[in-house]
């Protein structure tokens, strides 16, 4: 999602809605149609159709006024999501190296930064017999952002299990996780940010479309159970060979590029 901003599809839709409403003989009022003390009903787009069908319903009900309001996607929505992510990390919900599959990463959230300023939602309404009828249009990318970050809302689920499972491409995760785990620098990368940076160096621009959290979690499992035991055995043999040559622990550690205490552990194992 990086790069130049795309066209504001929903703002163009606002113009089409206003034009159509006037064509139906309705007056357009730019603002909200209801308060907290009014009864409302929401349009089911899946069953009833899009905004055009909603306007047809308004016309059939004899509505003379259509309420139209829209809101842009704002910087604070990304900042809030990142702040909630930090809270989740601090409270131990993730994402650590053992990152839950459903957790978004900082990069996945930041990828929406170039959508700031674009129209995210349109609210339409008309009043019939003291009941406010509402229809909401959401940008596809905004729906994706909400699905990505909904579990980060601190009040979204009091039970503590606030992250809904996301469907991911297992073959894609396996492919990139394997490449990442087999990278020569993966073992030295200890934090999520370091491993995410390493993944970016491998994937390039494609990283913006990848389920980063799932890949990091799977890569860690591959490394721990498949790669690290082989690496440890190789280092153990090499450390033993250097020891036989008369090198001390410090010299062996320097030669192998690993901590002294790890050399001690390899030789005593």
Structure token digits, residue 63: 């509505």
159-189: pLDDT as tens digits? 444 444 456 678 888 898 899 989 988 888 8
CA dist., res. 173 & res. 70, Å (int): 37
In this structure, are residues 226 and 219 in contact, taking their beta carbons and an 8 Å threshold? Answer: no
Rounded to an integer, the average pLDDT of 117-125 is: 93
* Predicted local confidence at residue 154, as pLDDT: 56
* Predicted local confidence at residue 20, as pLDDT: 95
* Predicted local confidence at residue 108, as pLDDT: 84
* Predicted local confidence at residue 162, as pLDDT: 46
Q: Which of 112, 117, 136, 114 has its CA nearest to residue 44?
A: 136
* Predicted local confidence at residue 153, as pLDDT: 67
The DSSP bridge pattern shows strands 27-30 and 65-72 to be parallel
Rounded to an integer, the average pLDDT of 121-140 is: 92
Residues above pLDDT 90, as percent of the chain = 31
In this structure, are residues 139 and 118 in contact, taking their beta carbons and an 8 Å threshold? Answer: yes
Query: Is the pLDDT score of 19 beyond 60?
Result: yes
23-35: pLDDT as tens digits? 999 999 999 877 6
* Predicted local confidence at residue 74, as pLDDT: 93
Better-scored residue on pLDDT, 164 or 138: 138
Count the Cβ atoms, other than its own, within 10 Å of residue 63. Answer: 21
Query: Is the pLDDT score of 100 beyond 50?
Result: no
* Predicted local confidence at residue 262, as pLDDT: 79
pLDDT range class, residue 133, cuts 50, 70, 90: very high
Strands (E), 18-176: 27-30, 40-42, 65-72, 119-128, 131-138
| Helices 192-203 and 170-181, axial angle in degrees (round to 10) | 100
* Predicted local confidence at residue 190, as pLDDT: 76
- Tell me if the pTM is above 0.95: no
Average pLDDT value for the chain: 82
Better-scored residue on pLDDT, 138 or 154: 138
In this structure, are residues 43 and 133 in contact, taking their beta carbons and an 8 Å threshold? Answer: yes
Which of 13-27, 83-97, 254-268 comes out lowest in average pLDDT? 83-97
């Amino acid at each position: 999602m990086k790069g130049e901003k795309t066209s504001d599809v929903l703002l163009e839709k606002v113009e089409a809605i206003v034009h159509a409403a006037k064509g139906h003989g309705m007056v357009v009022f730019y603002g909200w149609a209801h308060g907290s003390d009014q009864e409302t009903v929401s349009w089911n787009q899946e069953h009833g159709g899009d905004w055009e069908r909603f306007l047809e319903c308004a016309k059939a009900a004899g509505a003379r006024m259509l309420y139209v309001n829209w809101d842009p996607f704002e910087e604070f929505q990304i900042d809030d999501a990142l702040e909630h992510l930090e809270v989740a990390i601090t409270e131990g919900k993730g994402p650590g190296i053992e990152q839950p599959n459903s957790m978004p990463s900082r990069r996945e959230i930041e990828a929406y930064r170039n959508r700031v300023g674009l129209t995210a939602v349109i609210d339409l309404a008309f009043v019939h017999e003291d009941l406010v009828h509402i229809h909401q249009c959401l940008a596809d990318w905004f729906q994706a952002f909400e699905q990505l970050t909904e579990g980060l809302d601190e009040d979204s689920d009091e039970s503590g299990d606030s992250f809904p499972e996301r469907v991911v491409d297992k073959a894609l995760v396996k492919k990139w996780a394997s490449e990442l785990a087999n990278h020569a620098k993966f073992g030295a990368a200890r934090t999520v940010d370091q491993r995410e940076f390493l993944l970016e160096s491998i994937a390039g621009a494609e990283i913006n479309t990848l389920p980063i959290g799932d890949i990091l979690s799977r890569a860690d499992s591959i490394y721990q159970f498949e790669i690290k035991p082989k690496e440890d055995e190789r280092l153990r043999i090499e450390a033993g060979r250097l020891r036989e040559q008369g090198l001390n622990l410090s010299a062996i550690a320097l030669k192998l590029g690993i901590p002294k205490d790890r050399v001690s552990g390899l030789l005593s194992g």
